[in-house]
């Protein structure tokens, strides 16, 4: 299986290097048959070839089984006409990676900030909604008719709502069989109404899975009050982005949350956090988020290709990470430990059996 690795910007090269080394270890241990091939995106690519996402790299991603991408500094990119393309956003659209899956779980031995521990997954629609850079066939969803008037268009389609709902219900069937659909239909009656209509249709196809519905504002409060009640949280693009960051922080840290962007044909692993240029090159970054994301990619590949060894590799990685996080002596500095990025990676590989 061909996996492209895109290091990205800031701390991206450091945590991607650790992730690649761990994937190589898992490949040897579980006979996964991985071919890990690096490609260049981001500021380094802009300097070398004039684009943060060369067309050739996007085409290579289209022909790969999976992708691992490090954090990117897209806010520092020049305008698109000058080569500044957001690799993450463009690949979500160009590769039709419509499902963003973001788990948030508490870890034994680490403090969490909610009132209760949690083990949930936010299933976020990834290709439309309020995101102006990805919801139009041509142009963008934000525009200014006059200098003092700005407008934004939100797109919600029945097709996208149905397929993200199917993703959530199928996932819930493998977990605790509960889906919470998050919306704001009391205000956005048409768009949220269409989303909920499709979710309810899908729910009728899964009578063994319980559906509940929550307004997005009450959901934000309930995550703090009682996160343990939630299993699979299904929502649209912008709400999912916000709630997944909240859930990750409540579980202990944004640096402990994995994330994949998945479609029918391929999957991209991506850390939930940003590129942290202030600590780049200092061996301070915590690679856990990207490592967990890479593990989720292995799990996705295992399901797609009916490869049990991929699922076993994901389980071994997650177990080894949990063991390191339990012990203060084997944590990174952001979690109160003393290990740098590279030493954390070495300690992890020693744990993988």
Catalytic residues: 131, 184, 217, 241, 245
Other CB atoms within a 10 A radius of the CB of residue 238 amount to 15
d(Cα 224, Cα 238) in Å, to the nearest integer?
19
d(Cα 102, Cα 232) in Å, to the nearest integer?
10
Residue 202 CB contacts under 8 Å (≥ 6 apart), including other chains: 162, 165, 166, 169
Question: Of 206, 207, 211, which Cα lies nearest the Cα of 196?
Answer: 211
Alpha helix (H) ranges present in the chain? 12-30, 43-49, 55-62, 87-94, 158-173, 191-204, 216-226, 237-251, 288-305, 308-326, 341-351
d(Cα 112, Cα 249) in Å, to the nearest integer?
8
The phi-psi region of residue 188 (left if phi > 0; otherwise alpha if psi is between -120 and 50; otherwise beta) is beta
Bridge partners of residue 39, in order along the sequence:
6
Q: How many CA atoms lie within 13 A of 117 on its CB side?
A: 8
DSSP state of 254: G
Is the Cβ–Cβ distance between 108 and 47 less than 8 Å?
no
């Amino acid at each position: 299986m061909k996996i492209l690795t895109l290091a990205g910007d800031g701390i991206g090269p450091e945590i991607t290097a650790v992730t690649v080394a761990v994937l190589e270890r898992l490949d040897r241990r579980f006979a996964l048959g991985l071919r890990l091939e690096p490609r260049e995106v981001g500021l380094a690519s802009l300097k070398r070839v004039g684009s943060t996402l060369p067309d050739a790299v996007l085409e290579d991603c289209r022909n790969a089984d999976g992708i691992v991408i490090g954090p990117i500094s897209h806010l520092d990119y020049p305008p698109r006409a000058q080569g500044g393309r957001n690799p993450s956003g463009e690949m979500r659209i160009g590769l039709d990676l419509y499902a963003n899956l973001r788990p948030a779980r508490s870890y034994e031995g680490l403090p969490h900030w909610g009132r209760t521990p949690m083990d949930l997954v936010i299933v976020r629609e990834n290709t439309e909604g309020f995101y102006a850079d990805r919801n139009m066939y041509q142009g963008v969803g934000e525009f200014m008719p006059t200098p003092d008037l700005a407008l934004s268009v939100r797109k919600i389609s029945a097709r996208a709502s149905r397929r993200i709902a199917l993703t959530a219900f199928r996932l819930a069937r493998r977990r605790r069989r509960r889906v919470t659909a998050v919306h704001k239909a009391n205000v956005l009656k048409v768009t949220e109404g269409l989303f909920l209509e499709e979710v309810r249709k899908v729910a009728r196809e899964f009578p063994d899975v319980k559906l509940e519905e929550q307004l997005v504002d009450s959901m934000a409060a309930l995550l703090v009050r009682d996160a343990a009640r939630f299993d699979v949280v299904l929502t649209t693009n912008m709400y999912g982005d916000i709630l997944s960051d909240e859930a990750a922080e409540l579980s202990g840290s944004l640096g402990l949350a994995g994330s994949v962007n998945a479609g029918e044909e391929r999957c991209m692993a991506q850390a939930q956090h940003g590129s942290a240029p202030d600590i780049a090159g200092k061996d301070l970054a915590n690679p856990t988020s990207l490592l967990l994301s890479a593990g989720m990619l292995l799990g996705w590949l295992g399901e797609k290709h009916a490869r049990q060894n991929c699922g076993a590799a994901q389980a071994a990685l997650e177990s080894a990470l949990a063991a390191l996080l339990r012990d203060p002596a084997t944590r990174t500095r952001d979690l109160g430990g003393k290990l740098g990025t590279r030493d954390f990676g070495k300690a992890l590989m020693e744990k993988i059996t």
